[in-house]
Chains A and B, each alone.
Chain A
C-alpha cells in the first residue's frame, strides 16, 4: 500500500532519467502521451499475458522491469538495453488488452475528455475529440491512427512523434468498445457538406455526388425508422437544425415519419 501511495504522489512530466518508476518514466516520455497507466496487478497477472510470448521475448524479466522489481545491477548493459526494448513492446501489447477492461476504459475516458488524442481536423466535426485505434492487433503492421466518432473515419496523427507508435498498442476494437461502454460519449453526427463553388455556383459533379450521398443517408434513416430507431438530434443520430437549409427540412419530414411509426409500434 505504501508503495502505491508513493506512486500517486510522484508525478513525472519531465521524463528525466532519475525517475524512480519505470511506468512513470515511460508515460512521461515525449510521444507517449496516448498511453495510460496500467495497474500493476494487471500486468503481473500471468493470465493477462497469455499468448504474448510469441511476440515478445523474456516476458518475466520485462514484467519485472516494468514493475521495478528487476535488479539492474546484476545484468549487463546489452541485456539491459534489450530488456528495455522488450519492456516497451510488452507494455504496449498489454496496454491493448488493458484499455478494453473496465478500469482501462475509465482511464482512457479521462484522456479522451482532456482531448489527449487530439481533435478532428474536419471542419464540420467542430473539434471533436479523437480516439486512438490500430489497423491491426499485431505488431509492425501499421502505426496508430485516430478515430473520429463524429465522422466515423480515421486520420493520421498530426505529430510525427505519434505516427511512429505501433497501432497494435491500442488495437482495432478499442473505439468500438469504448463507445459501447459510454453511450453518452457517442456524438450526434453533423450532416453538413461542403460543395466546392465557382462564383457562387456549386460544381455539378460534386453537387451530384453530395445529393446521392444524402439519398443514401435518407435511406438509412428510413431503414432504421422501420425498426423504431429515432435519429433526430439523438446520440449516434444526426444533427437536425431548423434554421438550416432545405436539405434539413427534408430531414424533419423524414423524422416526423419516424415519430408516427414509433407510435404505431
Chain B
C-alpha cells in the first residue's frame, strides 16, 4: 500500500465517507494494472478522467469545471466496479474477511440465526439494477440492509460472485437451521389445512430424518 502520510488518498477518503463502510480500500496496484480494468472503459463515461481521479493523478488534459461533478460520479461508479472485481482476489477477500469478522456488514435479523454475520452481495453484476443486499450464510437468505444509508450503494459494486466465493474460501457453506419457528395459538399448533396454517416450513427446513436424507441424496 502506498499510503502517503501528508494527504488522504481519494480511495481512503471515499471509503471513510458516511455510509461507505461496506467498501474496502482497493490496492492502487490493482487499479494500475490495465488488465483488471478490461471492459470497464465502455461502461463508465469520462473513464480516463475518473481513473486519474481515483489514483490521484494529475489529469492529462485540462478538465472543464462543469464536468467535475460528472467525473466525480463516474469515479464512484468506476471504483465500485473495480471493487467488485477486487474483492474476489486473494487480497480483497482477506480485506473483506477482516470486515466480516468485525461484523461490519451487520447481523442477520432472523431470530434463530443468533446474530449470524452477513455478507454484502448483489443480485446483478451490471450497475443500476438494484442496491446492495445482505446474504446470511446460516439461513442462506437475502436481507435488506437495516439502515437507509446503504440504499445508495449499487449491488453491482459487490457483485453476484463475491458471497459465494467467500463461503467457499472460508468454509461457511454449511447452512444451519436447527431451530425453526412454528406459530401457535394458546400453545396449540395450527394445522396446515387451516387458512393460517404453516405454508413456509420448507423454506427453513433441512433434511433431518433418514428418509429425508435419502430423498435429499436422490435429488439431482
Contact = CB atoms under 8 A, between A and B. Distances in A.
Interface in B164-220: 164-165, 167-168, 173, 175, 181, 183-187, 190, 192-207, 212, 215-216, 219-220
Given A154-B110, A194-B135, A180 B205 contact: no
Contact of A198 (B133, B141, B168, B207): B168
Interface in A191-242: 194-200, 203, 205-206, 208-209, 211-217, 220, 223-224, 227, 229, 231, 235-238
A173 B182 CA distance: 11
Given A123-B133, A196-B167, A236-B195, A153 B143 contact: no
Interface in A98-134: 121-124
B57 interface: no
B215 A212 contact: yes
Nearest to B173: A205
A121 B219 contact: no
Given A196-B135, A215-B219, A224-B193, A176 B185 contact: yes
A199 B200 contact: no
A77 B123 CA distance: 59
A199 B161 contact: yes
A151 B146 contact: no
B220 A208 contact: yes
B160 A156 contact: no
Interface string A129-156: 0000000000000000101001111111
Nearest to B197: A236
B175 A123 contact: no
A121 B195 contact: no
A147, A177, A197, A199 — most chain B CB neighbours (10 Å): A197
B196 A224 contact: no
B18 interface: no
A129 B195 CA distance: 19
Instruction: Categorize the interface residue count of chain A.
Output: 35 or more
A194 B142 contact: yes
Interface residues of B, number: 51
B74 to A, nearest CB: 26
Given A197-B164, A198-B165, A215-B219, A154 B206 contact: no
A37 B165 CA distance: 50
A172 interface: yes
A56 interface: no
Contacts of B216: 208-209, 212
Contacts of B127: none
Contacts of A195: 140
B192 A220 contact: yes
B203 A213 contact: yes
B196 A180 contact: yes
B35 interface: no
A121 B121 CA distance: 15
A194 B146 contact: no
A186 B202 CA distance: 18
Contact of B199 (A156, A175, A176, A189): A189
B111 interface: yes
B45 interface: no
Nearest to B146: A158
Contacts of B186: 173
B160 A200 contact: yes
A176 B164 contact: no
A183 interface: yes
Contact of B140 (A153, A194, A215): A194
Given A203-B167, A212-B215, A215-B219, A220 B199 contact: yes
Contacts of A216: 201-202, 205
Given A158-B146, A215-B219, A237 B202 contact: no
B199 A121 contact: no
Nearest to B220: A208
Interface of A: 121-124, 145, 147, 150-156, 158, 172-173, 175-177, 179-180, 183, 186, 189, 194-200, 203, 205-206, 208-209, 211-217, 220, 223-224, 227, 229, 231, 235-238
22 contacts: A124-B141, A124-B142, A145-B111, A153-B112, A153-B200, A154-B112, A176-B183, A180-B194, A180-B195, A180-B196, A198-B164, A203-B164, A203-B173, A208-B216, A208-B219, A209-B206, A211-B219, A212-B212, A227-B193, A231-B199, A235-B195, A238-B199
